[in-house]
Structure formats: structure tokens, C-alpha cells
Amino acid sequence: MAWAIADWEKRLGRQAAEGDLEPLSWALIELGRSVNGGQYLVSVQELQYISRQIAVYFEGIDVLLTPTLAEPPAALGTFDSPPGEPLTGLFRAASYTPFTPPFNVTGQPGSRCRCTGARTGCPSGCSSSGVSATRRPCLHWPVSSSRRPRGRSAGRRSRPREDRGGQPPGHSALPE
């Protein structure tokens, strides 16, 4: 965020002030400004290393299923930060959704399936992440349910789809 606010400061011809932004945004900008170029590049290098480790892990599997959340659905206000501690809610949210960030870094395809908890009735779900689309095409796969499907597609079997000129679904078939 620090580079984005620096760009806007240049466009507007003035420095941003704390009162111009929400507390979390201001805290993230100050955090970004405290990191020098060398520290930033070391962080990028570490994320690239982790991405390569995850890619090696996926050489042995096609799909990884994880819960969508690390705990039951949170009540409203759970992620609110107390006054003077704007990062608290962000850190709390990170522990609530720990399965998503690695795939935000790697750029691997993923999807979410919303379910209703049988015992609690609370919404929950599962996430799936697949291999990199550059390694082999992603396949559409069905998610089974305890309920019998209804409608025109009931009883039909799902098949992998490879359309768009042999490209995995969701990828452009435009020539390079």
C-alpha cells in the first residue's frame, strides 16, 4: 500500500495525512514505509521459495481439499480492531482463514464450495486448490452431497471439460 499512496501523493501534489484514510489503511501504509528495498526483495524471494515448495508438493497430487475456515462462522464484529490497534482485526482474520493465503501467493487455481453444517445448521464449506495450469489442465470435478440432485441435470455424470481450444477452463484461448 505504501507505493500506491506514494503514487497518489504525487498525483495530488501533497502528502497523505492520517485523517485521510481509515486506521487499518494508514497502519499498513506506515508498515510499508518502514520496509526498505532490500527487506522487500528478501520477502519476495521468500514467497517465491515457498511457492516452489508448494509446487513440488503438488507434483504428487491433483487436488488439495481444505476447510474454508479454521473455525465456525464468526459473529459480526469479531474482526473489529480496538481503538489504537488497527492491525488487530487483520491478524485475527488471518488466523480465521489460514488456508487461503498460500494459494494467493502461488496463483494456483482454486474454488470454494459452501455447505450447511449438518449438526449446527451454520454455513461452512471446503476449498480446493489444484495444480498449476501450466503443468496440466485443470478438471472440473463434482462435489458430492448428501442430498439427491434435483432438476434436469439429476443423475447426469460430470465429466472433465476441456474447451477453449484445449486450454483449461477459465483460461483465454487467445493466441500469444
Chain segment 4-54, per-residue pLDDT in tens: 999 999 999 999 999 999 999 999 999 999 999 999 999 999 999 999 998
β-bridge partners, 66: 127
Nearest alpha carbon to residue 28 among 81, 77, 75 = 81
Instruction: Give the residue, 110 or 171, on which the prediction is more confident.
Output: 110
Query: What pLDDT, on a 0 to 100 scale, did the predictor assign at position 48?
Result: 94
Confidence of residue 100 (pLDDT cuts 50, 70, 90): confident
The average pLDDT across 103-127 equals 75
- Check if the beta carbon of residue 170 is closer than 8 Å to that of residue 138: yes
Instruction: Give the residue, 173 or 150, on which the prediction is more confident.
Output: 150
Diameter of the chain measured on Cα atoms: 63
Instruction: Give the residue, 160 or 45, on which the prediction is more confident.
Output: 45
Rounded Cα distance between 52 and 57, Å, is 9
The average pLDDT across 97-121 equals 79
Instruction: Give the residue, 73 or 147, on which the prediction is more confident.
Output: 73
The average pLDDT across 147-159 equals 45
**Mean pLDDT for the chain overall:** 77
Indicate if the pLDDT at residue 164 is higher than 70.
no
Other CB atoms within a 10 A radius of the CB of residue 145 amount to 9
C-beta pairs of 93-99 under 8 Å, 24+ apart in sequence = 95/70, 96/69, 96/70, 96/71, 97/68, 97/69, 97/70, 98/70, 99/66, 99/67, 99/68, 99/70, 99/127
Rounded Cα distance between 112 and 135, Å, is 22
Rounded Cα distance between 79 and 76, Å, is 8
* Dihedrals phi, psi of 121, to nearest 5 degrees: 80, 0
Instruction: Give the residue, 133 or 67, on which the prediction is more confident.
Output: 67
Query: What pLDDT, on a 0 to 100 scale, did the predictor assign at position 42?
Result: 97
Rounded Cα distance between 159 and 136, Å, is 16
Q: Where are the beta strands (DSSP E) in 86-171?
A: 110-116, 123-130
Share of the chain above pLDDT 90, in %: 40
Query: What pLDDT, on a 0 to 100 scale, did the predictor assign at position 153?
Result: 45
Rounded Cα distance between 66 and 87, Å, is 26
Query: What pLDDT, on a 0 to 100 scale, did the predictor assign at position 7?
Result: 95
